[in-house]
Amino acid sequence: MLSTVGHLNEFSYKNEWSIVKSVISGVGSYLPDNVISNDDLSQILDTSDEWIQTRTGIRQRHIILSNQTTSDLATEAAKKAMAAATRDDVDMVIVATTTPDQTCPAMAPAIAISLGLQDTPALDISAACTGFLYGLSIADSMIRSGTYDSVLVIGAEAFSTLLDPTDRTTRVIFGDGAGAAVVEKGSAGAPGEILSVRLSSDGTRQDDIYVASGGVRERMADSPVDPYFRMNGQAVFLRAVLKMEKAARLALDDAGWEPSKLDGIISHQANARIIRALAEQLDVPEDHAFMNIADVGNTAAASIPIAMSAAYDSQVYTPGSSTLLAAYGAGATWGAAAFRWLA
């Protein structure tokens, strides 16, 4: 049973209609070895460690090496997730990214081959920072429908390659990396069970976050097109909190969970103030909201799975704990998911 709520671009489902349930059985992440601190950036930009940390909560970020590609990062994260799930194969691969290796073909088939997955269906999706949640919802639907028994969902980004080297408002925020999760058939009530997902979009907000170059529209421009990533930070801040809260409440209502009784929140690591604001709006204690943004920055579609992997490695939550995922990104896109923390 699928339903739309409010308007057609707001997709939701309750994971109750199917006997088959999907569970997240393993997570993993990979960060490039190249670490750039705030002090490093202060040597080349009009900024400081204090300025960056006060406004974003970020201390450092990992930047892709010159001999690495986004698919390299994705492959390493995928290997770790599959090892954590004790699997050597999956039935499908989904890669969420805004920074693919090339426009065509998609990265996912090559990543599948690098994982030894011959003839496995694989595709890229693009929903910016919400991309991992879109991929998670596809994986969950594929499993509950009985189409596949296991799906690998990867979020991978090399956002540093899109940034204006002179723009301190964006260059200090973003980092590179990849995270992945294995979703497979499981049972109701099991650790890792996905209970609900809510997804939304609003195409009227395209100019809030964008890269003007690189698409078909560029050929219609009368003058050279700006090649860099641009963002209206203030507008994004306000809408991100509002829309993530709305999606979160809907997802939690579907799951039958009270927001204030959540055991944990892992939201898109966009900005420490946004993460805290979302927790406050949901009346969730701040220490229940996991944050690793200080060490990795904003890694866009890779943000949530990288944070999940870090939380799992740190044993922040106990298996079966009520957990919320939430994200907001370019498009605009946003969403939330309720699941039981994995074992």
Q: Cite the active site residues.
A: 129, 268, 298
Residue identified by tokens 């409010």 is: 6
- Strand ranges (E), 187-290: 194-201, 209-211, 229-231, 264-267
- From CA 24, how far away is CA 118, in angstroms rounded? 23
Omega before 100 cis (within 30°)?
A: no
Coil, helix or strand at residue 4: strand
Residue 244 contacts residue 328 (beta carbons within 8 Å): yes
- Strand ranges (E), the chain: 3-4, 10-14, 21-30, 34-37, 60-63, 92-96, 122-125, 150-158, 176-186, 194-201, 209-211, 229-231, 264-267, 322-329, 333-340
Coil, helix or strand at residue 196: strand
Residue 154 contacts residue 147 (beta carbons within 8 Å): no
DSSP 8-state assignment for residue 127: -
Six token digits for residue 115? 């994982």
Residue 259 contacts residue 248 (beta carbons within 8 Å): yes
- From CA 70, how far away is CA 49, in angstroms rounded? 28
